[in-house]
Amino acid sequence: MRAVVYTGYGVTPVLTRAADPPCPADGVVIAVGATGVCRSDWHAWKGHDPVTLPHIGGHEFAGVITQAGPGVTRWRAGDRVTVPFACGCGRCEYCLAGDAQVCPWQTQPGFTGPGSFAEFVAVHAADANLVPLPDAVDFVTAACLGCRFATAFRAVTAHGRVREGDWLAVHGCGGVGLSAVLIGAALGARVIGVDVSAAALERARALGAEVTVDAGADPAAAIGELTGGGAHVSIDALGSPAVAAASVRCLRRRGRHVQVGLLPEGSVPLPMDLVIARELEVYGSHGMAARDYPAMMRLVADGTLRPGLLVGEVIGLGDAGRALAAMDGPPATAGLTVVRIPLTGTTEPPAESAGS
């Protein structure tokens, strides 16, 4: 197959030929129709998250199953599917409860194994991890869903429990933050975008934020004033000690903070005095399991949610390495770069066609 491979951290990935992935006994091989280029791929390429070299990145994708292992009962070749970025083992107590996003044995194509910057990618424990793709959702749109969008959807709906008319503060208007802005606004929330970048705030307004707040001043005080007591729900979509604390401080009584931005530095102090005095709820959110996708997918298929608005550039596989390397610069506000790959059928010719 054709794949974008890097042989060392920071070494420009090149389009080359690689072995087709073997089909796991409990998994499938998927012909990749489209795959997003995410900052997490860039972190792996830079060596911030160790991977086995040489490596094929890519973890937010959609495509068509070309092979299914003998242990797979729910899927077969020809099914259009997408996958959460964190795939569960399918057997532990968390997976059996539908919470594969916290499976201790989770695998992540593009990190723990070869990813989707390739014509084919393998996914383990297919029965637990695949999500059916409605005909109305094209591959490029679906490639937006697996990472930032599903993460934001779960933060806003499952943890935030945002209702129509609620104030939703989104701190950090990058990829996952803008997804939360779009989802919150589409579900009828009054969204407040918070960022230090004027360009990011402009994007937030374009995607449905009712107001924006400069994170450089005192965002918690500003939000308290403009909402008459604080936000009902607040999300730290950036991940920093100061932002996490500001997100908790901007809540009204009985409000809910959702931590989505990763905190690579480790533990951070939160104003627990306010958590108790105002009876706040504090959640961590790590992606979304396949079980919870259908509710989101219905809203995408009927046009309530329009993740396609988050797509910036659509490129070919040959440009994926360049797109990854371009992330050395400051975060772009233009949107998600998606690689579209023409489907090439199956990984190997069927035996019965030999000689025909």
Q: Where does this chain bind Zn ion (CB under 5 A)?
A: 38, 40, 88-89, 92, 95, 103, 147
- Residue placing its CB nearer to Zn ion in the complex, 91 or 253: 91
- Residue placing its CB nearer to Zn ion in the complex, 29 or 125: 125
Q: How far is the CB of 308 from Zn ion (least distance, A)?
A: 17
- Residue placing its CB nearer to Zn ion in the complex, 40 or 141: 40
- Count other C-beta atoms under 10 Å from residue 257's C-beta: 28
Q: How far is the CB of 150 from Zn ion (least distance, A)?
A: 10
Q: Is residue 83 a contact partner of residue 29, using CB atoms and an 8 Å limit? A: no
- Residue placing its CB nearer to Zn ion in the complex, 64 or 152: 152
Q: How far is the CB of 276 from Zn ion (least distance, A)?
A: 34
Long-range contacts of 290-296 (CB under 8 A, 24+ apart): 290/83, 290/84, 290/100, 290/128, 290/129, 290/130, 290/131, 291/98, 291/100, 292/98, 292/154, 292/158, 293/82, 293/84, 293/131, 293/145, 293/150, 294/131, 295/157, 296/145, 296/149, 296/150, 296/153
Report the C-alpha gap between 122 and 119 in whole angstroms: 11
- Residue placing its CB nearer to Zn ion in the complex, 42 or 283: 42
Q: How far is the CB of 310 from Zn ion (least distance, A)?
A: 12
- Residue placing its CB nearer to Zn ion in the complex, 39 or 278: 39
Q: How far is the CB of 338 from Zn ion (least distance, A)?
A: 12
Q: How far is the CB of 61 from Zn ion (least distance, A)?
A: 10
Give CA separation, 162 vs 18, 181, 208, 249, 310, in Å: 45, 12, 15, 18, 21
Q: How far is the CB of 124 from Zn ion (least distance, A)?
A: 11
- Residue placing its CB nearer to Zn ion in the complex, 88 or 113: 88
The per-residue DSSP string of 305-354 comes to S-GGGGEEEEE-GGGHHHHHHGGGSSPPSS-EEEEE------SS--GGGT
Q: Is residue 57 a contact partner of residue 44, using CB atoms and an 8 Å limit? A: yes
